[in-house]
Amino acid sequence: MARLFSIKPAITFRGRTFKGLRGFAGKPFHPPLTDIPVAAYLLALTFDLISFFSTGELAENMYNTATYVLIGGLIVSIPTSLTGFWDWLKSTPKHTQARRTANWHMAVMLTVTTLVVVNLLTRSLDEGSVNAVGMVLSVVAGGLVAFGATYGGSLVFDYGFNVETSGDHPVWHESEEDVFPGHDE
């Protein structure tokens, strides 16, 4: 009978080298942290759009929700930025396309973070719903975060950045045996 599931190898840390702030070999800290700010800024854009084009209690509730979501995204962007910077510093050789792509990814995402801080500061001027300045900031931040995330994804999926294995690997060979990190074929 053929096995249908392989569970333990993907979640084990045994056999993986700990790399400090960067995480573990094959399990870096930065990529999963990015999901929260990216989702938060896109949700804030959605809530601000609803607030901008509505009135009354709905506008106020969506505005408040967008504000809280921006704050949450900004809080998580701190460890996200730190782990991303450490990856960049320790994993990207100078004078390579990967480094140039990582540089662009970092520049775009730092711009997004700056826009979010400015957006949060301008919200003290709003009266119950997002104003035109806040709406523009949310649109630009939402667009840029999606754009910047595309470059981060390209680093991982196109270049294999911080991926423990690439190319031919035993997990792609026909077998009923699981392959664990750090074990030979």
Residue 77 has pLDDT above 80, yes or no: yes
Is residue 51 within 8 A of residue 129, CB to CB? The reply is yes
Report d(CA 34, CA 150) in Å as an integer. 12
Q: Which two tokens stand for residue 130?
A: 């997002």
Residue 183 lies in a domain: no
Residue 145 lies in a domain: yes
Report d(CA 131, CA 51) in Å as an integer. 9
Q: Which residues are CB-contacts of 86 (< 8 A; sequence separation ≥ 6)?
A: 20, 21, 22, 30
Residue 180 lies in a domain: no
Distances (CA, A) of 167 to 111, 170, 173: 34, 10, 12
pLDDT reported for residue 93: 84
Residue 176 lies in a domain: no
Residue 184 lies in a domain: no
Query: How much is the average pLDDT of 2-22?
Result: 80
Angle of helix 56-91 versus helix 30-52 axis, rounded to 10: 160
pLDDT > 90: percent of the chain: 50
Which pLDDT band, with edges at 50, 70 and 90, does 128 fall under? confident
Residue 24 lies in a domain: yes
Summarised one tens digit per residue, pLDDT across range 94-114 is 888 888 889 999 999 999 999
Q: Could you list the residue range(s) of the whole structural domain that residue 146 is in?
A: 20-161
Residue 2 has pLDDT above 80, yes or no: no
Which pLDDT band, with edges at 50, 70 and 90, does 169 fall under? low
Summarised one tens digit per residue, pLDDT across range 25-75 is 777 888 889 999 999 999 999 999 999 999 999 999 999 999 999 999 999
Report d(CA 75, CA 41) in Å as an integer. 12
Which pLDDT band, with edges at 50, 70 and 90, does 10 fall under? confident
Q: How far, in whole angstroms, is CA 60 from its chain's centroid?
A: 28
Residue 172 lies in a domain: no
Task: Write down the mean pLDDT value for the chain.
Answer: 86
Count of domains forming the chain: 1
